């Protein structure tokens, strides 16, 4: 489950398949670490539209924003990240088991966030961007501003 979020893209959950309960457990971790977003943008996969997840999100004060079916351009940032993940990691590897996949994807994620410059961040790494933000802003997070506080899945 890749989670692009402004400063970094976090692949927090690598499994054979994800159910809504898995998504909720991952979101609980994210919400605890980074605060609750105002909105959760996702596609219309069964793991995201499940009534149990939607009920839990309402209790958290997070509103769902579903893209229209068959309209990946409505979630362009996610689709761009997902394409990079697929081209640079998923399609380049053959894994013998889930643990190996988790390790390889984590190494790729770490490189993506700490070593690879991003043109959208003025050729800083996401790690450098976040460190700079904290050193020059009083806002506790670059993603707590209401206008951009949106988690994309």
What is the full per-residue pLDDT of the chain (153 aa) written as tens digits? Answer: 666 555 555 556 777 778 899 889 988 988 887 778 888 888 888 888 899 999 999 999 999 888 888 887 777 777 787 888 889 888 887 888 989 988 998 888 889 888 988 887 888 888 888 788 778 876 655 555 443 344 444
Q: Is 140 in contact with 31 (CB distance < 8 Å)?
A: no
What are the pLDDT digits (tens) for 49-86?
Answer: 899 999 999 999 999 888 888 887 777 777 787 888 88
CA–chain centroid gap for 64, Å, is: 15
CA triple 120-124-129, angle to 5 deg: 90
Is this prediction's pTM over 0.75? no
CA–chain centroid gap for 19, Å, is: 16
CB atoms under 10 Å from CB of 105, counted, come to 18
Q: In whole angstroms, what is the distance from residue 60 CA to residue 127 CA?
A: 28
């Amino acid at each position: 489950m890749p989670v692009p979020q402004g400063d970094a893209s976090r692949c927090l959950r690598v499994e054979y398949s994800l159910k809504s309960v898995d998504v909720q457990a991952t979101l609980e971790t994210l919400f605890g670490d980074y605060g609750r977003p105002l909105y959760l943008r996702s596609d219309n996969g069964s793991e995201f539209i499940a009534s149990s997840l939607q009920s839990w999100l309402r209790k958290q004060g997070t509103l769902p924003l579903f893209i229209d079916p068959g309209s990946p351009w409505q979630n362009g940032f996610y689709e761009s990240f997902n394409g990079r993940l697929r081209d640079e990691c998923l399609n380049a590897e053959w894994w013998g088991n889930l643990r190996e996949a988790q390790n390889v994807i984590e190494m790729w994620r770490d490189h993506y966030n700490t070593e690879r410059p991003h043109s959208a961040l003025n050729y800083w790494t996401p790690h450098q961007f976040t460190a700079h933000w904290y050193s020059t802003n009083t806002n506790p997070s670059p993603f707590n501003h209401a206008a951009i506080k949106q988690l994309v899945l």
